[in-house]
Structure 1
Amino acid sequence: MSGLCWWLVLAASVLVALGLPVPLRAEDGDIALYREIAGRVERGDGYYAAAAELHRQENYPLRPFVTVRSPVLALGHALIGGAGMLLAAWLILGMALTAWFRTLRDRPPAERAAVLAVIAAGGAALISPEVLHVHELWAGLLITLALGLGWNRRLQLGAAVCAVLLRELAAPILILLLFPFERRQFVRVGIAIGIVAAFYAWHAANVASVVQPGDPSSQGWFGLMGPAGLATYLSAAAGRAIPVWAAFLPLAGWMMHGDRLVFPWCAGVAGAIAIIARPDNLFWLLMFCPLYPAGLVFLVSAAILAVRRLRPARWMSVRMGQPS
């Protein structure tokens, strides 16, 4: 019976993972903008001049500075091209799977295989030439790698810093890496935060240098969608492969798993989307993909364990209730 349950949860989880990229289309305005900026940089234009010109042309805001993405991804495309970036994405996914294989070495083989299959399916579905210009995709892959590297905190911090340099929304992961508290780790994370802060101060100065008085500002955030809006968001992101009421089940699974980093990260991203995100901020979901759907595996694992513990107790109560 438990074997059948594992096959069912694996099929359901892979279906959810494969459905994640449904809303990401190459013709989406944001993706088209990032692709055009990267193309201009590849042709030799300066990043900030090209970004400012295209933002104005497409009526995208230039204020505050975070509305202009970090130049790291565009420079990467200019250096190694689309094929090189595609290979890099697959390499990061492969490293993430290797890291999680080691992290889950003490878990039951079936559970570990199911988690790795879900992460692999989600990553494979997300990685495509059309969406390689989405910064949240890269941040999500790097955070998946970082969260699997708990057995090497230096490598973990390095992967996390790379994610933050690509997308500033990933910055809270650095705070999570402070725990459990250790003096050396505290110093390392402090240095990393200093590097990231210096990088974004430089980025802000460069954006300010190309902003003109008439440039538009962001319409703001704080969409206040709430839990119901978040559940609808998650269901839509999975291509309706999961009903709205089941959207939080992977989060419950990660909570039962007890990982000190994954659950706080996923819960934090979910909370940020529920409170801050606007309806057009769907890309934010990529910040916890392809890891989030794997929580379903731990949820089923907990259910199977609960049934196994219940059966002996029930059998004993029946035996003790029989007349002698």
Structure 2
Amino acid sequence: MATIWLSQPSRFAGLSKRRARIGLALLLILLIATLSALAVPAPPAVSGDVAKRADDQADVVLYEAIVDGVRHGGNYYTVAADQLRAGDYPMKPFVTFRLPTLAVAQAMLPSWTVVLLLYVLAAGVMVAWFRRLRPAFARPPPLLLAMVLLAGGLGAFVQADLASFHEVWAGLLIALSLALRRPGQWVAAAGIGALAMLVRETSALYVAAMCLLALAEGERKEAAGWAAGVALLAIVVVAHAHAVAQVVRPLDPASPGWSGMLGFGFFVEAITLSTALRLAPMWFAALLMGFTLFGWAAWRDGTGLRALVTFALYAALIGLFGRVDTFYWGLMVAPAILVGLAFAPDGLKDLIAAAFPRQRKITVTRITP
């Protein structure tokens, strides 16, 4: 079957007419669901005034202050507690404190080195995805388009003033891990996934997805490797909770909770705000997000399935527990997500062709003796 861009037919090629029509109906439902982003409350507007950075990027300023305090000899938990208390941030439960990994590592390095490492990591993500995507496309132009889409997801990840933001590093590490994983070649991917969890514990959703999919494919050794990372995180979190308990006071404020229940539309909005889609009108960006997810489903490759499952899990996390002020959770999956648009044309073509197959014309030739 001829393809538009891909080197092989999409996952939807060869579906029965009934299943293909169900697939088209589900795609329509997905596109309609993305438009629910229009009804989601938007985060507070950023002034853009350098003098108001403490208000516009309050969390970033907080993390910078913590790094600075540790760099000058302070204990991470004592410094973090003082800064959270000074900013009237919630301090209960213990998850309101970020894991110390990133702050301690950055405190050991000059600021310019941290920014350089951020750029190197972003460049590594670009190279890893180029190598991963090159066999997927039949010609250079669609591969180039895929790389442009990847760059569109990386805009927020090469901003020096966000270098202390945990989701920025964790998102890049997840994207790198996903690109490096191959059948039989998973050790580096699992190790990077474990590092992502130590930077931001919500990376465990990605690692859990990789573990479960490895189990489903009968790759027990690989599944054990991913599970080992989760076990390491569990140990770290227990120690983290104990350390937090030593610095929190009875009268310190508690979190209002994370049951935002803003729905799938909030996930769409969070990704839009985290990528180049923020430049488009929301209705158009939302529809593009629908085709992006459809594209990942269309790619006939294990990486496509793993990416789709990962995005679905974070969509559930953000839709159920995210609040308007935690839209930045979308950064966890933002780096590579727009690449799915490059797979969408072949997927849509194959789905329509399967749903509405052409009737073969039968020509009867009469032979007169």
Scaled by the length of structure 1, the TM-score of the pair is 0.83
Write out aligned runs for 1:283-302 (5 A): 283-302=328-347
Counterpart of 1:95 (choices 96, 99, 124) is 124
1:222 is paired with a residue of what secondary structure?
coil
Counterpart of 2:201 (choices 145, 161, 168) is 168
| Alpha-carbon offset, residue 102 of structure 1 | 2.6
CA contact (8 A) 2:153 2:337 kept: no
- 1:64 equivalent to 2:106? Answer no
* Residue 214 (structure 2) aligns with: 180
Counterpart of 1:112 (choices 135, 143, 146) is 143
Question: 1: CA distance between counterparts of 2:127 and 2:271?
Answer: 27
The runs of 4+ residues in structure 1 deviating greater than 6 Å are 22-25, 306-312
Write out aligned runs for 1:215-226 (5 A): 215-226=252-263
Determine which structure has more spread, i.e. the larger CA radius of gyration.
2
Q: Which runs of 5+ in 2 are unaligned?
A: 6-44, 364-369
- 1:53 equivalent to 2:90? Answer no
- 1:159 equivalent to 2:201? Answer no
* Residue 305 (structure 2) aligns with: 260
Question: 1: CA distance between counterparts of 2:282 and 2:239?
Answer: 44
Counterpart of 1:199 (choices 218, 230, 236) is 236
CA contact (8 A) 1:82 1:129 kept: no
CA contact (8 A) 2:205 2:314 kept: no
The total of aligned residue pairs comes to 300
CA contact (8 A) 2:271 2:331 kept: no
Counterpart of 2:64 (choices 35, 41, 49) is 35
Question: 1: CA distance between counterparts of 2:232 and 2:167?
Answer: 20
Range that drifts further, 95-104 or 74-83: 95-104
1:105 is paired with a residue of what secondary structure?
helix
* Residue 123 (structure 1) aligns with: 154
| Alpha-carbon offset, residue 169 of structure 1 | 0.8
Q: Which amino acid aligns with 2:267?
A: L
Question: 2: CA distance between counterparts of 1:93 and 1:229?
Answer: 26
Question: 1: CA distance between counterparts of 2:221 and 2:357?
Answer: 47
1:139 is paired with a residue of what secondary structure?
helix
Q: Which amino acid aligns with 1:127?
A: V
Range that drifts further, 297-306 or 122-131: 297-306
CA contact (8 A) 2:168 2:331 kept: yes
Question: 2: CA distance between counterparts of 1:101 and 1:283?
Answer: 26
Write out aligned runs for 1:67-78 (5 A): 67-78=96-107
CA contact (8 A) 1:229 1:274 kept: yes
Counterpart of 1:243 (choices 282, 295, 300) is 282
| Alpha-carbon offset, residue 306 of structure 1 | 6.4
CA contact (8 A) 1:111 1:298 kept: no
CA contact (8 A) 1:70 1:166 kept: yes
CA contact (8 A) 2:214 2:223 kept: no
Question: 2: CA distance between counterparts of 1:77 and 1:93?
Answer: 17
Range that drifts further, 113-122 or 27-36: 113-122
Range that drifts further, 97-106 or 85-94: 97-106
| Alpha-carbon offset, residue 136 of structure 1 | 0.6
Larger RCO (CA under 8 A, 6+ residues apart): 2
| Alpha-carbon offset, residue 188 of structure 1 | 1.9
% identical aligned pairs: 28
Question: 2: CA distance between counterparts of 1:243 and 1:300?
Answer: 22
Deviations 1:75-131 (A, max 9, x none): 122112221111112222222222222322321133332222222343244311111
Tell me: CA distance 1:24–1:275, structure 2 relative to 1, closer, same or farther (3 Å): farther
Tell me: CA distance 1:112–1:305, structure 2 relative to 1, closer, same or farther (3 Å): farther
* Residue 19 (structure 2) aligns with: none
| Alpha-carbon offset, residue 233 of structure 1 | 3.9
Counterpart of 2:113 (choices 58, 78, 84) is 84
Q: Which runs of 5+ in 1 are unaligned?
A: 4-21
| Alpha-carbon offset, residue 37 of structure 1 | 0.7
Question: 2: CA distance between counterparts of 1:308 and 1:176?
Answer: 32
Scaled by the length of structure 2, the TM-score of the pair is 0.74
Q: Which amino acid aligns with 2:326?
A: N
Range that drifts further, 149-158 or 228-237: 228-237
Question: 1: CA distance between counterparts of 2:187 and 2:46?
Answer: 35
Question: 1: CA distance between counterparts of 2:109 and 2:47?
Answer: 23
Tell me: CA distance 1:242–1:211, structure 2 relative to 1, closer, same or farther (3 Å): same
